[in-house]
Amino acid sequence: MRASLIQLSVDSSESADERRRRAASLARGRTGDDLVVLPELWTAGAWAYDRWGYDDEGVDGPTAEIMSAAAREAGTWLHAGSIVERDRDGRLYNTALLFDRSGELRGRYRKIHRYGFDSGEALLMGGGSDVVTVPTDIGVIGLATCYDLRFPELFRGLLDAGAELVVVPAAWPAARLSHWQLLTRTRALEEQVFLLACCAVGTHGGMQQGGHSAIIDPWGTVLGEAGTAEEMVTVDFDMDQVAKIRSELPVLRDRVLAIEPPPR
């Protein structure tokens, strides 16, 4: 299969509508790809908290509309990164959207772990509660977002729900780039999955985003990695490697799920 990460520049000088048009144009050009991925909160800006109340939308809003059309025109599965979703209850959520080759919305994931330590996203957004996997013609895709990388329990949940490939859109800060590179490789290796991690670049809300989007195989090997500019990462890989590697190194079979704490 062939997958592409669109490492989009998210800069405060550009409006959400302008970014939507540009991102859709890039996605439409990916004919021949099986899966295309965009970063986290690229429409509103992951760090522009003051914009979220203006650029929020529904899961059937302008981003979904234009991304659905792009997926259909390219004939690819399209992970549209995430949007600032305003639900019927008026609460905001960081919500990822996955469209199939016909443009149908097949997966919706509300980010469970919200970053900010009682401020920012953690204060302004609600948290999801569902572990989301989507069966597709290319394998079972698991959904996670940015800060989720720091919580291995979620990735074990995705594994137990059948994930063979995990997509992680992000707006990871450049100041903690080494953490991004370590955690993405670790999650791929420990779950024995392909991991597609797409991070934004540019500066938004005063935060420089780290880039270095990467496609990583179940051995933890980086198959393709971007730098710090807006660019595309495209890699061909064999999904059959998931079953092969899990058979050759059956660490997942050897998991001990219940470990009793020592007596006190």
Of 85, 111, 121, 199, which one is the catalytic site residue? 111
Of 121, 146, 164, 225, which one is the catalytic site residue? 146
Query: Catalytic: 40?
Result: yes
d(CA 38, CA 148): 17
**Any bridge partners for residue 203, and if so which?**
208
Query: Catalytic: 73?
Result: no
Of 40, 57, 85, 121, which one is the catalytic site residue? 40
Query: Catalytic: 199?
Result: no
Catalytic residues: 40, 111, 146
